[in-house]
Amino acid sequence: MKIFQRAMLGCLCTVLSVSLFAEGQKDTGKKTTGGGKTQITFMTPLSGADGAYMDKIIQAFNAANPDVEVTHLVVGASTEYKQKFSTGVATKTAPEVLLIRKFDMPLYLDQFSGFTKDELKKYGIDVNDIYPNLLSGLEYKGKLIGIPLDVWIFYMAYNKANFRKAGLDPEKPPYTREEFVKAMEALVKVTPKGVTPYYENMNWTWIWTHLLWQFGGDLLTPDFKAPAFQKAGVEVLKFLLELQQKNIIPSGIVDPGPAFESGDASVLITGIWTINSWKNLLGKDFGYAVAPQLGTTKAVFGGSHVIALTDTMLKDAKKKEAAMRWVKYLWDHMIDWYAAGQTPSRKSIAEGKELKEKLPHIWTVAQQVQYVKSFQMFPYISEVQDEIAVYLEDCLFTKKLSPEEAMDKAAKAVQTILNDYWATH
């Protein structure tokens, strides 16, 4: 079984657009309410295995609420998801409720229904239970426009058998930079030729951003007017070059999944969306831990699936009441969702006994949620990342540029993106 690390939350690995509008409920601007039921369309990007978990939650809600029917509309690819939402808003056929990736939200802030904390509390939703860092960027015009359902977070996956071979304690995974480098040096000795113990494509800008935050940097200034990654970015690249020289990470672009699955590679710092598959595949040899802190700042890469409501589709009070009933059901059944391989957004669940007993692997990773940093809510953050990736390759793989040169050129390219954006906004 091949696990694609780039499959963000298991839902970017395929481009899937499945229209589940029932017959008589097509995009005509009206949605039928057969049998007197209020119809709610719930659009998500869950095109992977996690979609099946959500389907079960929807089925349970529909069974418990005979006057409401929630239909699951799956659109896996980020670009297609946004296009479908834009078209739906323009034609008043948009889904009433969304599960949307947080970094896909900035273009549509005016399209989401906003709520004060007191208003949400009347629906039985206490957002004070959500980690404050996850709410960052979700307040717009004095109201919350989204509720984080989860946190997709980085963690360290490792092979316990290889740790034992290298003389390392598999129950004490490394956490500090010193511990990590020392452990990797030991693992080099038991790693097959052509592979490295930490086998990752270092051109993946998500891992670079994760390290950027740990080294105290950020992508953009708070006002999104200028790049802010140059100084910390140089330090990250120097660190990665040192790891290459020690044969700890690859010196070329690789697909890390097969090497880790086969047991040749020992460590990956990757997304929680892989944890269930690797747990099933590697069995007792699969180790999991919080992401090691390799820089000077406690930070870990993460993001959220956010529950949001389409304002233009909820002008009818009955429709809005049905939509909020579904949102409240999701709020009450979050732990069922975390079994899909997500970490909690709610403090009471992340730190609670039930999660530790039912999903100990999720509980372990969840202990770092308070340190999660997410992409800034800038509409073209993906374009910023893509531009930086070009210069990461020129530094780490082709060796055309020094770390200083790479970050200087990346900053100039990103500044062009920012200038173009602000010229029209």
Check residue 48 and give its pLDDT: 87
pLDDT, position 30? 36
CA atoms within 13 A on the CB side of 231: 7
The pairs formed by 394-399 with CB atoms below 8 angstroms and a separation of 24 or more are 395/237, 395/241, 396/202, 396/203, 396/237, 396/240, 396/241, 396/244, 396/251, 397/203, 397/251, 397/252, 397/253
Residue 4 near residue 270 (C-beta atoms within 8 A)? no
Measured in whole angstroms, the distance separating CA 47 from the mean position of its chain's CA atoms is 14
The pLDDT value given to residue 28: 31
- Kindly report the pTM of this predicted structure: 0.88
Query: Which domains does the chain show, CATH number per domain?
Result: 8-149+304-373 (3.40.190.10), 157-301+378-423 (3.40.190.10)
Dist. CA 419–CA 425, nearest whole Å: 10
Q: Mean pLDDT of successive 10-residue segments in the chain (425 residues)?
A: 37 33 33 71 94 97 98 94 96 97 94 97 96 95 97 97 98 98 98 96 94 98 98 98 98 95 97 94 97 97 97 96 98 95 96 95 96 96 96 97 98 98 94
What per-residue confidence (pLDDT) applies to 233? 98
